[in-house]
Amino acid sequence: MSRPTARVYDRLRDLVAIPEFRADPSSRPSTTIAEVFTGEPLAEIPVGTAHDVTAAVARARAAQIAWSERAPEDRVAVLTRFATQVMRNRDQLMDIVQAETGKSRSSAQEEVLDCLITARHYARTAPGLLAPKRVQGMLPGLTKAVVRRQPKGVVGVIAPWNYPLNLAATDALAALAAGNAVVIKPASITPFCALAAADMLYRAGLPRDLFQVVPGSGGTVGGAIAGSVDYLMFTGSTATGRTLGRQAGERLIGFSAELGGKNAMIVTAGADLDRVAEVATRAFFSNSGQLCISVERVYVERSVAPQLIEKLTARVQSMSVGPGYDFDAEMGSLISRDQLDTVTAHVEDAVAKGARILAGGRPRPDLGPLFYEPTLLADVPEDATCFGEETFGPVVSIYPVESVDEAIARANDTEYGLNSSVFAASDAEGEAIAARLRTGTVNVGEGYVAGWGSVAGPMGGMGASGVGRRHGDEGLLKYTEAQTVATQRVMHMGGPLFLPRGRWQKLLAPATDAMRLLPGR
């Protein structure tokens, strides 16, 4: 089993937004980043402070002015070159992602491909989205109204540990295309993925002060970012999202967040059960279930529940699990001892309260310090922790139901609303079910990849699963302020000079009402 060389980490470490550290690494404390597969040290990373954030934001604010004045076509050229860098360095990027997270090679590749397609999407669409738009003026022919898009300024990105490359890079790409600068705090345990994104952006021609990475704790660095930027993008837990949302509200700045989920899959009696069983391994266990949009609940019509349970159990039991920087393993490791303890506790609690283990259900220290088997549960009672709370690990519960209506009701019976999956007898039936689900994305005939990979469509959560959207037009326009420029020509609103003021005022109401007869009114 190979891993990235120390030289790679040394080069990336020198990109942190702490100039004094680059001049003198002994100038501040550092922390050790370990390879998840083995627990062995990978590299040291400096610990940022609130002062570092203040300095980074000041540099970003100064650089953003000139960046915003460049044409959108010029800005998105950086995104195009970034996409080229992603393709050129994809193997090394997957190595870094795997080393920091312990995920399988296929899950790491998802991150790389998301960076690629998102960069290309916004490189293609941003100029049109940001172009001034003529809208209907107050008085036809006399009032010219144009909507322009102004960048927010400095965007703060607080990125998670579970998808630390693409969720550091892609949110920033949209913000940069819109004319903003970005200051990012990566998760404390996965800083080198964000630094790898920075490396590619700099190589693509982005001025360094426009994308700065400040590693450090959430309380110190994350709090300082939330307290100083002009817009905040966060991906992480619902609890932390609520805290940051309150802070953004106090400052009256924009806030977007993708938060937790307890995502459901619905399987109807007419579904192709073999297809379900195959797709489920990815829907359930991509990144060992440490994915906000992965499935943790399955509702299946009772008439086919025994067949589906048999097929799912066999497929899960056959999954290949283990470490390795290749595509052999279907599932890798959990990322931390905290995650392993949470997963273990959820399964033990469910079993103690009457649940049955159909597959998996135990740690695998023989594979590495943080491995846990892909786990399938049945008969999970409502008082079990994993019944309603997000496990965020490789644990899925199956619930037979009497009807599709019951499946929809139970899928919606949660505070969350991030993602869902539907397998039905036909696309039409699946899409009809999708329309009744309260989630930001619904995948018909898939688990999560179809919705996630359709970057032209918005992605995000309802309820406690988030605020705002990434991807799609909304994923870029949220980083802008809409400005209406209205130019009044020929006659001002005081009326023509040849009419007395009083007569003009009496004519205003009927004239305004008559405008309903004009096209577009």
Active site residues: 258, 292
- DSSP-assigned letter for residue 48: P
What length is written for the chain?
521
Strand partners, 395: 375
Nearest CA among 174, 219, 372, 222 for reference residue 285: 372
Nearest CA among 357, 343, 263 for reference residue 312: 357
Rounded distance between C-alpha atoms, residue 96 and residue 432, angstroms: 41
Per-residue HEC secondary structure of 225-240 comes to: HHCCCCEEEEECCHHH
Rounded distance between C-alpha atoms, residue 133 and residue 487, angstroms: 14
Nearest CA among 269, 263, 273 for reference residue 400: 269
Got the DSSP string for 458-479? -B--SGGGEES-BSHHHHHHTT
401: three-class secondary structure by DSSP: strand
Burial class of residue 375, CB neighbours in 10 A (0-12, 13-18, 19+): buried
Beta-carbon neighbour count of residue 312 at 10 Å? Answer: 26
Strand partners, 230: none
Beta-carbon neighbour count of residue 251 at 10 Å? Answer: 15
What residues contact residue 356 under an 8 Å CB cut-off, 6+ apart? Answer: 377, 378, 379
500: three-class secondary structure by DSSP: coil
What residues contact residue 53 under an 8 Å CB cut-off, 6+ apart? Answer: 183, 185, 214, 221, 224, 225, 228
210: left (phi over 0), alpha (psi -120 to 50) or beta: alpha
Per-residue HEC secondary structure of 145-191 comes to: EEEEEEECCEEEEECCCCCCCHHHHHHHHHHHHCCCEEEEECCCCCH
Tokens encoding 254: 């924009």
Nearest CA among 262, 260, 261, 272 for reference residue 300: 272
Tokens encoding 127: 């100029």
The CA–CA distances, whole Å, from 239 to 48, 243, 466 equal 23, 7, 11
Rounded distance between C-alpha atoms, residue 145 and residue 134, angstroms: 6
